[in-house]
A and B are shown apart, each in its own frame.
Chain A
Amino acid sequence: RKEVEQDPGPFNVPEGATVAFNCTYSNSASQSFFWYRQDCRKEPKLLMSVYSSGNEDGRFTAQLNRASQYISLLIRDSKLSDSATYLCVVLRNTGNQFYFGTGTSLTVIP
């Protein structure tokens, strides 16, 4: 079983829409959780960390459910510039090893 699983999409949404991505992880020893954004043919960049209490950064909200081993990302009022691939990333508590999902592709349509 993969460490981190994501729906690859693609998600095609109109400008202004709300879209949600989900991610599950298999190892209960995972300690830290992140969403990264990757533009086409570019390197991944941190979008936001995910905290147990849930956290918000502008139009982006991340949630963590440790009992279900589930992470989500909600994007409100989608912009054209949100078009990218969103990577779910998990850090285990043994060693500094990060595990990446395959990514969810989002295209925001005018």
Chain B
Amino acid sequence: NAGVTQTPKFQVLKTGQSMTLQCAQDMNHNSMYWYRQDPGMGLRLIYYSASEGTTDKGEVPNGYNVSRLNKREFSLRLESAAPSQTSVYFCASLSGGAADTQFFGPGTRLTVL
């Protein structure tokens, strides 16, 4: 099992460009999450999806959109990138049940110039 995979690993954008970060999990988990991690801020939730077909805003959703394409895939889109969106983005899925363990992808390092 690959667990949680993310593409791309690195990306540099110019202000105003758009891009989609891809995330997939092969653990048959219902819930999936997108976080950003900035120095001194910890991980902050952007959007999450409790199940296929549903998405909800987290703490910092502005400037982002998401799509839960199917149970495996959860993508994050930046329509018009801004320098404030320079960050490391992590996707995660949740095992659920009694465990409540989140499994993270390796992250995407995004720089917006």
Contact = CB atoms under 8 A, between A and B. Distances in A.
Interface of A: 4, 8, 32, 34, 42-46, 49, 87, 91, 95-98, 100-103
Contacts of A95: 50, 56
A97 B58 contact: yes
30 contacts: A8-B40, A32-B100, A34-B100, A42-B106, A43-B106, A43-B107, A44-B43, A44-B90, A44-B104, A45-B104, A46-B102, A49-B99, A49-B100, A49-B101, A87-B42, A87-B43, A95-B50, A96-B48, A96-B94, A97-B45, A97-B48, A97-B58, A98-B45, A98-B102, A100-B35, A100-B44, A101-B42, A102-B41, A102-B42, A103-B42
Contacts of B42: 4, 87, 100-103
Given A49-B99, A91-B100, A100-B42, 10 more contacts: A34-B101, A43-B104, A44-B43, A46-B102, A49-B101, A87-B43, A95-B50, A96-B31, A97-B58, A102-B41
B44 to A, nearest CB: 8
- List of 5 A-B pairs having minimum Cβ-Cβ separation, nearest first: A43-B104, A102-B42, A100-B43, A100-B42, A46-B101
B66 to A, nearest CB: 15
A23 to B, nearest CB: 11
Contact of B90 (A4, A43, A46): A43
A88 to B, nearest CB: 9
Nearest to B3: A43
A91 B101 CA distance: 10
A75 B45 CA distance: 28
Contacts of A98: 33, 45, 102
B30 to A, nearest CB: 9
A32 B94 CA distance: 13
Contacts of B99: 49
Contacts of A91: 100
Nearest to B102: A98
A102 B105 contact: no
